[in-house]
Amino acid sequence: MDGGDPPLSGTTQIKIRLLSHVSVSAQTGVVFAQRAFDHEQLRAFEVTLQARDHGSPALSANVSLRVLVGDLNDNAPRVLYPALGPDGSALFDMVPRAAEPGYLVTKVVAVDADSGHNAWLSYHVLQASEPGLFSLGLRTGEGRGPPAPAAATLRHRHAAPNLRG
């Protein structure tokens, strides 16, 4: 912030109305962050600054500063479904014997607390006991399989999803 009047014999003073998020150098008018900002906690805030001289009469000027907090990719995705068992093991879904090609076996549901492109998720099968029997939609998280084998039902173990935010 520029105080306006040339600093003749220390006649310019800068006052701040809000000190919880920023501080301002009284000598230079430079605004400094008081702490790190987290976009998920604080997306924007406003600060009113005032420059006042010590003349007679004292004159001042106010300026409002709106600060927008940018988002970093600082939150890992969280899988909501399928949930892991209490011991951390994967759960099972039953696939009927008469399952048609492309049968929806499961849907991985995940969220990311970040914003914008930092919150976009993609889904990938990292490992499977039977490669090729199961595909995972890159953007949808839908797990689909081909027709079931001749057994009455196929127990399909969920592959651990790899979420890239």
pLDDT in tens, 55-114: 999 999 998 989 999 999 999 999 999 887 788 777 777 888 888 888 998 999 999 999
Identify each DSSP E strand in 97-148 by its residue range: 103-107, 109-111, 122-125, 135-136, 142-145
CA distance 47 to 49: 6
The whole-chain average pLDDT of the chain stands at: 79
Residue in the block written with tokens 């805030």: 45
Q: What are phi and psi of 46, to 5 degrees?
A: -120, 145
Domains of the chain (ranges, CATH numbers) = 8-68 (2.60.40.60), 78-164 (2.60.40.60)
Surface-to-core class of residue 127, CB atoms within 10 Å of its CB (0-12 exposed, 13-18 middle, 19+ buried):
exposed
pTM here is 0.59
Half-sphere exposure of 27 (CA within 13 A, CB side): 0
pLDDT band at 2; cut points 50, 70, 90: very low
Q: What local confidence, expressed as pLDDT, does residue 44 receive? A: 93
Q: Which of 22, 27, 25 is nearest to 12 (CA)?
A: 27
Q: What per-residue confidence (pLDDT) applies to 152?
A: 41
